[in-house]
Amino acid sequence: MAASDMTKGSIMGHLVRYSIPLILGNLFQLAYNAVDSMIAGRFIGKEALAALGTAGPVMNIIILGISGICMGAGVLMSGFFGAGSLEELKKELSTTLLFGLYFTIGVAVCGLFLARPLLVLLQVPEGVLDRACIYLKIIILGSPFTYFYNALAAALKSVGDSRTPVRFLIFASLLNAALDLVFIGQLGFGIVCSAVTTVVA
C-alpha cells in the first residue's frame, strides 16, 4: 500500500495523480459490464442478453448501495488518516469490514427469496424471467466479494493510494473477459456461467 500524505505539497499535483486512476477505474468498470453483455449477446443469444438487461436494475441498486456505504466509510477513514489517528482508522476499517460481512450475508439470503418477486414487479417478460432470475441470484450471492473489494479500495483511497484498487480492477476486468471467451465463447456454456465468471473475476 503506497500511502500518500495529500496535506503536504502541490494540491494540483496530488489531484492529478489521484484522479487519473479513478477515471481509469470508472472506464474499466463500464467495460466489465459491457463485456458480459457483448459476449452473452454474441454467443448465447438475444434471450440471454435480454435476461442480463432485465436483471441489471436490481443488480445496480445493490452495487450502488454497497459503493455508497464504502464511500461513506472512506470519508471517515480519510479524516482519521489526515488527522494522524491511525488507530481510529484501523478501528473504522475493521468496523466497515465486519458490518459488510453481516450486511452482505443478509443481502445474499434475501436475494435468494426476493429475486424472482422483484423481477416480476419489474414486469420482466416470462420468456426471459427464469434466466434473469438465475443470473441475478448468482450475482447477489457474490455481493460479499463486491463489498470487500469496495471496502478495501475505499481504505486504500482514503490514505491517498488510488492506484492499487484500479490495478486489481483492471486485472478483474481482463480475467472476466478471458473467462467469458473461454467458457461461453469456446465451450458453449450459458448464462449461469456468465454470472459465475463475473463473481469469480
Task: Report pLDDT digits (tens) over 24-69.
Answer: 777 777 777 777 777 777 777 777 777 777 887 888 888 888 988 9
Q: Tens digits of per-residue pLDDT, 101-110?
A: 999 999 989 8
As a whole number of angstroms, the distance between CA 126 and CA 130 comes to 8
* pLDDT band for position 76 (cuts 50, 70, 90): very high
**What amino acid is encoded at 44 in this protein?**
I
The pTM for the full model equals 0.82
* Contact present, 184 and 40 (Cβ < 8 Å): yes
Instruction: Classify burial at 102, counting beta carbons within 10 Å of its beta carbon; exposed 0-12, middle 13-18, buried 19 or more.
Output: exposed
Could you identify the residue written with the cell 452495487?
63
Q: How far is CA 71 from the centre of its chain?
A: 13
As a whole number of angstroms, the distance between CA 196 and CA 178 comes to 13
- The residue-averaged pLDDT of 132-141 equals 87
- The residue-averaged pLDDT of 155-171 equals 85
* pLDDT band for position 179 (cuts 50, 70, 90): confident
Which of 99-108, 122-131, 169-178, 180-189 has maximum average pLDDT? 99-108
Compute CA distances 170 → 32, 66, 85, 134, 173, whole Å.
9, 20, 31, 27, 5
As a whole number of angstroms, the distance between CA 18 and CA 161 comes to 7
* pLDDT band for position 121 (cuts 50, 70, 90): confident
**What amino acid is encoded at 59 in this protein?**
M
As a whole number of angstroms, the distance between CA 137 and CA 112 comes to 6
Nearest to residue 167, comparing CAs of 147, 153, 186, 178? 153
**What amino acid is encoded at 118 in this protein?**
L
The per-residue pLDDT for 6 is 61
pLDDT greater at residue 10 or residue 92: 92
Could you identify the residue written with the cell 422483484?
118
Domain segments of the chain as ranges: 47-161
Residue 84 has φ and ψ, to the nearest 5°, of: 80, 15
- Range with the poorest average pLDDT among 11-15, 76-80, 143-147: 11-15
